[in-house]
Each structure stands twice: as structure tokens, then as C-alpha cells.
């Protein structure tokens, strides 16, 4: 007997305050035109003072649980992806656990920056496949506004805050017959030789303070296009599928040009690619579940659809997940 995980609920949350490109252009040497042309970003949401990553995560989690018809007490696993935890420790997942009323099972954070949600999904899926969890909450939540150097126009215009979550439930995999619904496969990679092209210049063991995000944008862009193309091929061929079988591509939202290049590579019409970067900017680990929640909520992603998610982030880390919804 083997198990497979199915997505049974999705939810998302964005902080109330919206910062437009025009607002940034009033205090920085930048313009709406430059930001839109280079990135596709028009605005981003920014958490209020005192609003923490755990607050965003709890809102998204509550919506995902409501969509699944479950409460926190029904869960036995929380995997929370974030690069902006509330504190150095404990894991933000444990704060979320207590606020959701979940007292058993386990809860921990995963740190893979923008690939974090794919890493967290793969982790939870493997717990379920081996029978160690039955109902898992997978969250991507970030407050990148707190680690941005707001004087650095090369990075601060690119990111936003938000959270997204999905609930996974264990189903017995019958094998054979009609294509099974659920997580078909996940594919994770890292290449630490490039850890210094996208990093935060602080942390408990280096400076003792939190630090600011630093990025060699062009280099990251070059790796992203190449590595994402590879991992997408890997996910499709592992399942004997082709790009034409896909109903939806839900990519990490880092740059519109990277998203468009992936759509072209897969020969997918633009309507099959879920895009939120214009409104959310890059929300790191939250971007994929935010995009998923939007496309499920408005009825684009339907049961039985084949959905491919992919992301690349600091580390470098990258990965993909193929799900029959």
C-alpha cells in the first residue's frame, strides 16, 4: 500500500498597504516605466509596523483550512517556508501551530528563499508518502520589506510581503487505471557555489544583526532561465508527460521576463501561465502559493487539471512540483 498527497485547500493573505511604483519614484531615483519594463511589477503589498510573518501566515493558513473544511486540530504537520522568520528561533511554524490550535504532530521552518515553497511542499509530500503525516499545512510567508535596503533602487523595487498556504491530505494510491490526482512528483536542487550572488549581509553568526538583501541581478537572472528550464524538463519527463499536457504553469514571480521565457520554452499560450507579479512583486516563498490561491479561487484551476510549479532562489536553490489538481 502506498500513499499520495492531495491538495484539499488553498488560501492567501496580502497586507493591506499597497506601495505603487510612483510612490517609490517619489523617494528614489527610479521610475514606473523602468520598473514595469525590466520586471513587470506595478505595485507591492507591505506589512504594517508590528505585522509579522507569523501574522500573514496565520491569515493564509486559516483561509486554506476553511477551504479544506478542517481546523488546526486536524493537522499533524506544518512546514513553513520563510527567509524572514519572526525571530532567529523558534521556528515561525511553531507560533503558527499554537495560533491554529494544533497541539500534536510537528511544525518546523524550511529555508530555501524563493524556492522555499517548493522545498516545503516536497518535504510535506514525502512525510505523507512514507506515512509519517496524514494532514499537512504547507505555508510560504514573507516580510521581505524588513530586509530591504530602501536606498538601493536595484533591489528594493523588486520585492513585496505576503503569504499563501495549501492543505495536503493523504490518499491511498491505487496505482494503474485513470491518472491519479495529487502531487505526482517534486524535484529539488541546490548549488551552493553561487551562495554569494543573492544573500542577506547579516545574521546571528556573522554580524548579529538582521542585514539587508544583496543581489547580482544579472547573474541571478542568467541562472534562473537556465536552471528553471532544466527542472521543468526533469519534472515532465519523470512522469512521461509533455508540455502540451499542462493545463497551468504557476511559476515563482521574480521577473516577468523570466516568466515569459519559461512560457515560450514550454510553448504555452499566455492564458495558461498564472501571473501575479504586476500586483504582488516578488514575495519570495509566498509567491507560488499566492498565485495558486488566486487561480484556484477564481476558478481557473479545476479538479483534474495538470499544474506545474517552479521556482529558483538564493542558495542557489531551485525546484519544481507537478500536481494533478
Q: Which residue is catalytic, options 114, 156, 187, 255? A: 114
Stretch near ligand ACO under the rule CB under 6 A, chosen from 27-35, 57-65, 98-106, 169-177: 27-35
Of 74 and 216, which has the nearer Cβ to ligand ACO?
216
Is 80 in contact with 60 (CB distance < 8 Å)? no
Q: In angstroms, what CA-CA distances link 320 with 30, 70, 308, 312?
A: 33, 27, 7, 9
Binding pattern to ligand ACO, positions 48-87, x when CB under 6 A?
A: ----------------------------------------
Angle 108-111-112 from CA coordinates, rounded to 5°: 140
Residue with C-alpha cell 510581503? 161
Of 181 and 189, which has the nearer Cβ to ligand ACO?
189
Decide: is 283 part of the binding site for ligand ACO (CB under 6 A): no
Stretch near ligand ACO under the rule CB under 6 A, chosen from 1-9, 154-162, 260-268, 286-294: 154-162
Neighbours of 13 (CB within 10 A): 24
Contacts (Cβ under 8 Å, ≥6 apart) of 260: none
Q: Using the rule CB under 6 A, which residue among 36, 38, 126, 210 binds ligand ACO?
A: 38
Of 106 and 225, which has the nearer Cβ to ligand ACO?
225
Burial 33-42 (b: 16+ CB within 10 A, else e): eebeeebbbb
**Smallest separation (angstroms) from ligand ACO to the CB of 293:** 20
What CA–CA distance (Å, rounded) separates 125 from 140? 15
Residue 239 annotated in active site: no
Binding pattern to ligand ACO, positions 99-118, x when CB under 6 A?
A: --------------xx----
Residue 114 annotated in active site: yes
- Assign 227 to helix, strand or coil: helix
Of 181 and 257, which has the nearer Cβ to ligand ACO?
257
Residue 305 annotated in active site: no
Stretch near ligand ACO under the rule CB under 6 A, chosen from 47-55, 131-139, 242-250, 310-318: 310-318
Stretch near ligand ACO under the rule CB under 6 A, chosen from 3-11, 35-43, 97-105, 127-135: 35-43
Q: Using the rule CB under 6 A, which residue among 313, 318, 319, 325 binds ligand ACO?
A: 313
Instruction: List alpha helices for the chain, DSSP H.
Output: 21-27, 32-39, 53-68, 92-99, 116-129, 153-156, 217-238, 256-265, 277-280, 287-297
Q: Using the rule CB under 6 A, which residue among 202, 211, 217, 297 binds ligand ACO?
A: 217
Residue 58 DSSP symbol: H
Strand partners, 135: 169
Stretch near ligand ACO under the rule CB under 6 A, chosen from 164-172, 238-246, 264-272, 307-315: 307-315
Q: In 3D, which of 291, 1, 267 has the Cα closest to residue 131?
A: 1
Of 75 and 220, which has the nearer Cβ to ligand ACO?
220
- Assign 136 to helix, strand or coil: strand
Residues numbered 234 to 263 that lie near ligand ACO (CB under 6 A) are: 254-255, 258
Strand partners, 166: 10, 138
Q: Using the rule CB under 6 A, which residue among 284, 287, 291, 307 binds ligand ACO?
A: 284
Strand 77-81, strand 135-143: pairing: parallel
Torsion of CA 238, 242, 247, 250, to 10 degrees: 60
Residues near ligand ACO (CB under 6 A) are 30, 34-35, 38-39, 113-114, 153-154, 157-158, 198, 217-218, 220-221, 224, 254-255, 258, 282, 284, 312-314
Residues tagged active-site? 114, 252, 282
Amino acid at each position: 500500500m502506498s500513499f499520495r498527497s492531495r491538495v484539499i485547500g488553498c488560501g492567501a493573505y496580502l497586507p493591506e498597504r499597497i506601495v505603487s511604483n510612483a510612490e517609490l519614484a517619489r523617494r528614489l531615483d527610479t521610475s514606473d516605466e523602468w520598473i514595469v519594463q525590466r520586471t513587470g511589477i506595478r505595485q507591492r503589498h507591505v506589512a504594517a509596523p508590528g505585522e509579522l510573518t507569523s501574522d500573514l501566515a496565520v491569515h493564509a493558513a486559516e483561509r486554506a483550512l476553511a477551504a479544506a473544511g478542517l481546523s488546526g486540530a486536524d493537522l499533524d504537520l506544518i512546514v513553513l517556508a520563510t527567509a524572514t522568520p519572526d525571530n532567529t528561533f523558534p521556528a515561525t511554524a511553531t507560533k503558527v501551530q499554537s495560533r491554529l490550535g494544533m497541539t500534536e504532530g510537528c511544525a518546523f521552518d524550511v529555508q530555501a528563499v524563493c524556492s522555499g515553497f517548493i522545498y516545503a511542499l516536497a518535504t510535506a509530500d514525502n512525510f505523507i508518502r512514507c506515512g509519517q503525516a496524514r494532514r499537512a499545512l504547507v505555508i510560504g510567508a514573507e516580510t521581505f520589506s524588513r530586509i530591504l535596503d530602501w536606498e538601493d533602487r536595484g533591489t528594493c523595487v523588486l520585492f513585496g510581503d505576503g503569504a499563501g498556504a495549501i492543505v495536503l491530505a493523504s490518499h491511498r494510491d491505487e496505482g494503474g487505471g485513470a491518472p491519479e490526482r495529487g502531487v505526482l512528483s517534486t524535484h529539488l536542487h541546490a548549488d551552493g557555489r553561487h551562495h554569494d550572488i543573492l544573500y542577506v549581509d547579516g545574521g546571528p553568526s556573522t554580524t548579529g544583526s538582521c542585514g539587508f538583501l544583496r543581489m547580482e541581478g544579472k547573474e541571478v537572472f542568467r541562472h534562473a532561465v537556465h536552471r528553471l528550464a532544466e527542472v521543468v524538463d526533469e519534472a515532465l519527463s519523470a512522469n512521461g508527460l509533455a508540455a502540451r499536457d499542462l493545463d497551468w504553469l504557476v511559476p515563482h514571480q521574480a521577473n516577468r521576463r523570466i516568466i515569459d521565457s519559461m512560457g515560450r520554452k514550454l510553448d504555452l499560450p499566455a492564458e495558461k501561465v498564472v501571473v501575479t507579479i504586476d500586483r504582488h512583486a516578488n514575495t519570495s516563498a509566498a509567491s507560488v502559493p499566492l498565485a495558486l490561491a488566486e487561480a484556484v479561487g477564481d476558478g481557473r484551476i479545476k479538479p483534474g487539471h495538470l499544474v506545474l510549479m517552479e521556482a529558483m532562489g538564493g542558495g542557489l536553490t531551485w525546484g519544481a512540483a507537478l500536481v494533478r489538481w
